[in-house]
């Protein structure tokens, strides 16, 4: 574990609230990015971040430092986001035509590459809006598994542990998610074989 994290965790476990605030400051950005990828909504991501750090604070004395604090708090974040996704009304999108300039931000993360050429940025915004819409078509299990695998680079074992699934069920959830994402993104493959085609080919197990 990072030396700063190790020191702040030990001091926070001893009751030093300033040390826990330093942990929050150090990891809040990464936790928010993960929460946003999982929920696709900035307000929901904010709620998940608050709940995740609240749970981390309450359970900090049980943290035994066998993993890094980052890994531990990210695992809590995944659980909080997954619970939120399961509480959402089930809705199936009729169309993937989402306005790139509206909705809940400009991409998978609420950041944009400001130096990109306008045409590239516009096409990137279209892809990102399609991806957001496609993610909304996934079940909570599929979405969480897909995000953890393809955005976070987590292993099948880590994903299965987070979702309480066996390896076979984890693979199946990712496979279903990949198939849905491919179908959803297929209409724009022809617009940029170099960019979109490569992206679709990279959606593997």
> What is the average pLDDT across 58-72?
89
pLDDT value, residue 203: 52
- pLDDT, mean over the chain: 79
Tokens of 33: 């990015």
Q: Does domain 115-205 have CATH number 1.20.1250.20?
A: no
> What is the average pLDDT across 162-166?
91
Let me know: does 162 contact 78? Beta carbons within 8 Å. Answer: yes
> What is the average pLDDT across 118-131?
62
What is the DSSP secondary structure assignment for residue 164, as one 8-state letter? Answer: T
> What is the average pLDDT across 134-159?
92
pLDDT value, residue 173: 95
Cα Dmax for the chain: 58
Whether the per-residue pLDDT at 135 is higher than 80: the answer is: yes
pLDDT in tens, 169-186: 999 999 999 998 888 887
Spatial distance between the Cα atoms of 118 and 125, rounded to a whole number of angstroms: 10
> What is the average pLDDT across 118-141?
73
* 3-class state of residue 151 by DSSP: coil
Spatial distance between the Cα atoms of 150 and 154, rounded to a whole number of angstroms: 8
Delimit the CATH 1.10.1740.10 region(s) of the chain.
1-88
**Position 155 confidence tier, pLDDT thresholds 50, 70, 90:** very high
pLDDT value, residue 88: 80
Spatial distance between the Cα atoms of 191 and 163, rounded to a whole number of angstroms: 36
pLDDT in tens, 35-45: 999 999 999 99
Q: Which residues contact 129 (CB under 8 A, 6 or more apart)?
A: 98, 99, 100, 103
Delimit the CATH 1.10.10.10 region(s) of the chain.
115-205
Cβ count near 27 (within 10 Å): 21
End-to-end CA distance of the chain: 29
Spatial distance between the Cα atoms of 124 and 192, rounded to a whole number of angstroms: 10
Cβ count near 1 (within 10 Å): 15
Alpha helices in the chain (DSSP H): 3-13, 17-39, 42-59, 69-87, 118-135, 140-150, 156-163, 167-185, 198-201
Whether the per-residue pLDDT at 92 is higher than 50: the answer is: no
**Among the four given CATH numbers 3.40.640.10, 1.10.3720.10, 1.10.1740.10, 1.10.10.60, the one describing domain 1-88:** 1.10.1740.10
> What is the average pLDDT across 21-41?
95
Whether the per-residue pLDDT at 151 is higher than 60: the answer is: yes
Top pLDDT among 67 and 111 is at 67
Spatial distance between the Cα atoms of 48 and 35, rounded to a whole number of angstroms: 6
Let me know: does 73 contact 52? Beta carbons within 8 Å. Answer: yes
């Amino acid at each position: 574990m990072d030396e700063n994290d190790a020191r702040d965790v030990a001091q926070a476990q001893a009751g030093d609230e300033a040390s826990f605030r330093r942990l929050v400051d150090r990891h809040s950005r990464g936790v928010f990015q993960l929460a946003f990828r999982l929920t696709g909504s900035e307000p929901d991501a904010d709620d998940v971040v608050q709940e995740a750090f609240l749970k981390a604070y309450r359970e900090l004395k049980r943290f035994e430092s066998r993993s890094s604090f980052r890994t531990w708090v990210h695992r809590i974040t995944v659980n909080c986001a997954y619970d939120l996704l399961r509480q959402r009304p089930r809705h199936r999108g009729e169309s993937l035509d989402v306005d790139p300039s509206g909705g809940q931000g400009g991409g998978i993360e609420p950041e944009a590459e400001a130096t990109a050429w306008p045409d590239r940025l516009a096409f990137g915004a279209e892809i990102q809006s399609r991806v957001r819409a496609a993610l909304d078509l996934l079940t909570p299990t599929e979405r969480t598994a897909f995000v953890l695998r393809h955005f976070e680079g987590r292993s099948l074992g880590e994903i299965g542990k987070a979702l309480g699934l066996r390896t076979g069920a984890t693979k199946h959830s990712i496979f279903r998610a990949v198939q849905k994402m491919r179908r959803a993104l297929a209409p724009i493959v022809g617009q940029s074989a170099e960019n979109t085609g490569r992206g679709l080919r990279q959606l593997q197990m």
